[in-house]
Amino acid sequence: MDAKTYTVKQLAQLAGVTPRTLRHYDRIGLLKPASVDENSYRHYDEHSVLRLQQILFFRELGFELDRVKAILDQPNFDLVSALQTHRHRLQAKQLHMQRLIRTVDATIMHLVGEVTMSEKKMFEGFDEEKQQEYEKQAIENWGDGAKDSIKLWNSYSREQQERILAEGGKIYQTIADQMKLGPHSPEIQASLAQWHEHLRNFYEPTFDILRGLGDTYNEHVDFRATFTAIRPGLPAFLQQAINHYVDMLETEWLERELGILKE
């Protein structure tokens, strides 16, 4: 079989990019056409398709084009360490953005807080006395991380607190509806992943804090009441399911670390 060839537009559509992109890649030497006609028309072949797919893969990972070029052109390129370095950069950026988000939150609170200051203190679940008790326990249990979470939580306006609680409520309801599937079921675990993401709305929980939350849900009177109202048996179920969820997370993390150590 003779090799199939593609025009710029054909290859572009095949790969989901624009012809302009292909011309750009040609110019910077990232993807040269297989052949060029007298009339300067570019033609690509199957090998081009493969190379383009590789390019797009690394591009999606967030590599700059000249890094991609280096990766693909140098036969003994140390890809693994390049990926690890890249991962660190991504993580640093992500951390930075987390802080930005928190700062934005604090700013919103400051602006909104001026209007609803008196209202804020009325919020029932967390009046000042109770809140201090919670703080003490939280500090004893999980250290400063939890304290920060409570501080941040208190910095939210009542509406925001309610919105976040409502969002969380939907997750808990979903879990309650699927209790019969068992705490380790994929459905429940998926809901817990949502729950985990949800928590990140206002702080970044460590493994220990997650587990501590699971325990608290089952042991603390207020939480027990809340969750039992949704469905009897939910507190204990949540504790089990969360524990399993964190176990899986931690295992995953450990494997990653071990993988890195192999290098």
Partner DNA sequence: CTTGACATTGACGTTACGTCATAGCTTATC
Partner DNA sequence: GATAAGCTATGACGTAACGTCAATGTCAAG
Q: Give the binding site for a copy of itself (CB under 8 A).
A: 60-62, 79-81, 83-101, 103-113, 115-117, 121, 133, 137, 140-141, 207-208, 212, 250, 254-256, 258-263
The interface partner of residue 7, options being a copy of itself, DNA, none and the CB cut-off 5 to 8 Å by kind, is: DNA
The interface partner of residue 70, options being a copy of itself, DNA, none and the CB cut-off 5 to 8 Å by kind, is: none
The interface partner of residue 37, options being a copy of itself, DNA, none and the CB cut-off 5 to 8 Å by kind, is: DNA
Do residues 249 and 209 make contact, with C-beta atoms less than 8 angstroms apart?
A: no
Least Cα distance to 14 among 41, 42, 52, 40 occurs for: 52
The interface partner of residue 128, options being a copy of itself, DNA, none and the CB cut-off 5 to 8 Å by kind, is: none
Of 7-15, 90-98, 168-176, 222-230, the window that binds DNA (rule: CB under 7 A) is: 7-15
Q: What is the dihedral of CA 92, 96, 97, 99, to 10 degrees?
A: 140
Do residues 189 and 244 make contact, with C-beta atoms less than 8 angstroms apart?
A: yes
Applying CB under 7 A, does 66 fall inside the site for DNA? Answer: yes
Which lies closer to a copy of itself via its Cβ, residue 36 or residue 50? 50
Applying CB under 7 A, does 7 fall inside the site for DNA? Answer: yes
What is the rounded CA–CA span in Å between residue 208 and residue 250?
10
The interface partner of residue 59, options being a copy of itself, DNA, none and the CB cut-off 5 to 8 Å by kind, is: DNA
Applying CB under 7 A, does 40 fall inside the site for DNA? Answer: yes
Structure-token pair, residue 33? 């056409």
Q: How far is the CB of 40 from DNA (least distance, A)?
A: 4
Which lies closer to a copy of itself via its Cβ, residue 43 or residue 67? 67
Which lies closer to a copy of itself via its Cβ, residue 27 or residue 99? 99
Applying CB under 7 A, does 59 fall inside the site for DNA? Answer: yes
What is the rounded CA–CA span in Å between residue 233 and residue 210?
20
Instruction: Return residues touching DNA (CB under 7 A).
Output: 7-10, 17-21, 23-25, 37, 39-42, 59, 64-66
